Amino acid sequence: MAEEIEDMGKRDKRELHSRLTVVLLHLLKWNWQPDYQSPEVQSAIVTQRAELDRLLEDSPSLRCTIGRAASKVYPAALRAVVVETGLPAETFPRDCPFTPEQILDPNFLQVR
């Protein structure tokens, strides 16, 4: 039973990292590639945030790890945004520019 609970925790943490990577990727594109701003992108951000909310509702203890998790996955989101946009890495902030509150805020899109 303890192993099963531990496995669930690991699975939830992997899902948190995956969802955060996608949200960060889209937020970076939205903020640093203005031509990318569209209803479809906004919808993708809304969808990923809703999935994050559901995950945090099921596993509230993960909420306090959002900042740390975002910092951990940011390099992967940065590599992906560079590949997808063709823009140089220097275009984007070296460290995650979004706070946990901004990442989860359904009304937040623009920092620039």
Tell me if 48 sits within 8 A of 17, measured CB to CB.
no
Summarised one tens digit per residue, pLDDT across range 17-27 is 999 999 999 99
Which whole number is the average pLDDT over 91-107?
Answer: 95
Supply the mean pLDDT for the chain. 89
pLDDT at 54: 95
* Contacts for 77-83: CB closer than 8 Å, 24+ residues apart: 77/20, 77/21, 77/22, 77/24, 77/25, 77/28, 78/28, 80/21, 80/25, 81/25, 81/28, 81/29, 81/32
Domain definitions of the chain by residue range = 2-104
Summarised one tens digit per residue, pLDDT across range 60-89 is 999 999 999 999 999 999 999 999 999 999
In this prediction the pTM is 0.89
